[in-house]
Amino acid sequence: MLMLLGFIILLSCLIIGVRRGGLGLAAVSGIGLIIFIFVLGFKPGKAPVDVMLTIMAVVTCSGFLQASKGLDVMLKYAEKFLRSNPKYITILAPITTWFLTVLCGTGHVVYAMFPIIYDIAIKENIRPERPMASASVASQMGVCASPASVAVVSVVAILASTTHPFGVVQILAISIPASFCGALAAGLWSLNRGKDLDQDPDFLTKIADPEQKAFIYGEYADAKLSDIKLPSTAYRAAGIFLIGILIIAIFGSFPELLPKIPNAKGILMPLSMTPTIQLLMLAIAATIMLSCNVKSSDVASGSVFKSGMVAIVSVFGVAWMADTYFSAYIPAMKKTLSAIVLSYPWLYAAVLFLVSKLINSQAAAVTVIVPMALSVGVDPLIIVSFMPACYGYFILPTYPSDLACIGFDRSGTTKIGSFIINHSFIMPGLIGVTTGCVVGYAIAHLIY
């Protein structure tokens, strides 16, 4: 009964906290911790310090990239690619937003692409819902495939303590093709979704009004990044960032290149990838700052840095609360959960998927579920196989990128259905995540 009560408290804190945003989730987690420790007598768990420090370094680096306008360089080339192939926008849009997320480490770069995707689709008389919804889903699927994303570096930091740790390269060798196949599957399914614009009665009714037609087919003021002239420092910053990511990948592939550090037994071992990522990300940020003359104040006020800091606080609260609860019942859970999960490994993916929806964060979901899964005997290979399952917050259309996507679609084809759950993102999301998990499982077991 005490175990059930604790789980209800944990779940309640997640549900209440999510409604208040990332900082609210962390704050409400504090109430859960107070109840667990002071009322139920649980031993305090461990805060994910290594994960938080890694996130902090990654967010700092990404913040300097944005402040230097290096992020705009990547968006500019993405726009050129899409506008050169307008007829294939439904396939190319999700591929482009996925690739941008892989490069930049955050799915929030998709906001700048929505008006561009809409502009291309409506001019080609393509139902905007088709490329826009799949592009929104694909942008979030790219999170689990980026060496600069909070979710990936969190998994690397957590698995570093296991006897068979997976490095950045080993994880990306699985998650990149898996999530790409998922994004591509979502785009392919979207090719014929919904009615064509000339056969959609709702759309035809709208454009019968001259004012509505002018609004729907009108130009977005910010729909052409190619017209913006960027300084040379922006291109330099983008180059520095991409070279830095490449260096991290090289060290992950060849750990013998890392300095040797004595472990607890005095044996010289290569430096762990967790501090390596932290050091290199800070060094990349410093190089961008010094060579591109970036002001630190511009970094702190940027959207990437702000959202990243919120993620850190959110991970701190919810992961600490979850570790406190699960640590108290690991012996009891091992007897039942380990046998079930080992017999049905897809259940791990299902749990990760559902928790991601509850928390609305891929990074927070992995910091809660992965340590628990490891403690009950889940093979790290299974954890890496199902990386795409950490994206489950499309189930309800409440995530900022989905809401922004609906707002940018002037035609009204991208929408929330009358039953809430029958919205434009549900099928691309389910198809993308399912495909990603199947492909990830197959690749992981072929390679390892």
What's CA 351's distance to the chain center, in Å?
17
Give percent above pLDDT 70 in the chain: 95
Q: How many CB atoms lie within 10 A of CB 170?
A: 20
Q: Is 9 part of a structural domain of the chain?
A: no
The label of the residue with tokens 């979901």 reads 365
* pLDDT classification of 48: cutoffs 50, 70, 90: confident
Query: How large is the average pLDDT for residues 297-306?
Result: 84
Residue 157: closest CA among 333, 59, 11, 275: 275
Model pLDDT for residues 402-415, shown as the tens digit of each residue: 878 888 898 999 98
Per-residue confidence (pLDDT) for residue 333, from 0 to 100: 67
Task: Copy the structure tokens of residue 136.
Answer: 């929104």
* pLDDT classification of 223: cutoffs 50, 70, 90: low
Distance CA(42)–CA(38), nearest Å, equals: 8
Q: What are phi and psi of 342, to 5 degrees?
A: -70, -30
Per-residue confidence (pLDDT) for residue 162, from 0 to 100: 77
Q: Is 10 part of a structural domain of the chain?
A: no
Q: Is 2 part of a structural domain of the chain?
A: no
Residue 94: closest CA among 127, 124, 130: 130
State the DSSP H helix or E strand holding residue 260, giving kind and residue range, or none if neither: strand 260-262
Q: Is 419 helix (H, G, I), strand (E, B) or coil?
A: coil
Per-residue confidence (pLDDT) for residue 287, from 0 to 100: 97
Q: Which domain holds residue 161?
A: 18-447
Residue 352: closest CA among 344, 362, 342: 362
> Does residue 314 have a pLDDT over 80?
no
Per-residue confidence (pLDDT) for residue 246, from 0 to 100: 87
Q: What are phi and psi of 270, to 5 degrees?
A: -60, 145
Max Cα separation, the chain?
78
State the DSSP H helix or E strand holding residue 15, giving kind and residue range, or none if neither: helix 2-18
Distance CA(359)–CA(19), nearest Å, equals: 10
Q: Is 3 part of a structural domain of the chain?
A: no
> Does residue 123 have a pLDDT over 80?
yes
Q: How many CB atoms lie within 10 A of CB 146?
A: 27
* pLDDT classification of 253: cutoffs 50, 70, 90: confident
> Mean of the per-residue pLDDT values for the chain?
87
Q: Is 114 part of a structural domain of the chain?
A: yes
Per-residue confidence (pLDDT) for residue 175, from 0 to 100: 96
For 188-210, the DSSP string reads: HHHTT-S--GGG-HHHHHHHTSH
Model pLDDT for residues 323-363, shown as the tens digit of each residue: 888 788 777 666 666 667 777 888 899 989 988 887 778 88
Do 330 and 80 form a contact (C-beta atoms < 8 A)? no
Question: For 272, what's the count of Cα atoms within 13 Å in the CB-facing half-sphere?
Answer: 19
Distance CA(140)–CA(324), nearest Å, equals: 29
For 282-343, the DSSP string reads: HHHHHHHHHHHT--HHHHHTSHHHHHHHHHHHHHHHHHHHHHHHHHHHHHHHHHHHHHHHHH
Distance CA(94)–CA(74), nearest Å, equals: 15
Residue 423: closest CA among 179, 94, 136, 120: 136
List C-alpha distances in Å: 310 to 26, 93, 150, 317: 9, 28, 12, 11
Rounded to a whole number, what is the distance in angstroms from the first to the last CA of the chain?
A: 41
Per-residue confidence (pLDDT) for residue 356, from 0 to 100: 85
Counting the structural domains of the chain, the total is 1
Q: Is 12 part of a structural domain of the chain?
A: no
Residue 385: closest CA among 140, 171, 153, 152: 171
Positive or negative: CA dihedral 400, 288, 240, 76: positive
Q: Is 134 part of a structural domain of the chain?
A: yes
> Does residue 21 have a pLDDT over 70?
no
Do 389 and 353 form a contact (C-beta atoms < 8 A)? yes
Q: Is 149 helix (H, G, I), strand (E, B) or coil?
A: coil
pTM as predicted: 0.79
Per-residue confidence (pLDDT) for residue 335, from 0 to 100: 63
Q: Is 13 part of a structural domain of the chain?
A: no
Q: Which residue has the higher pLDDT, 250 or 35?
A: 35
Q: Of 173-182, 208-217, 264-273, 280-289, which gets the smallest average pLDDT?
A: 264-273
Model pLDDT for residues 367-377, shown as the tens digit of each residue: 888 988 888 78
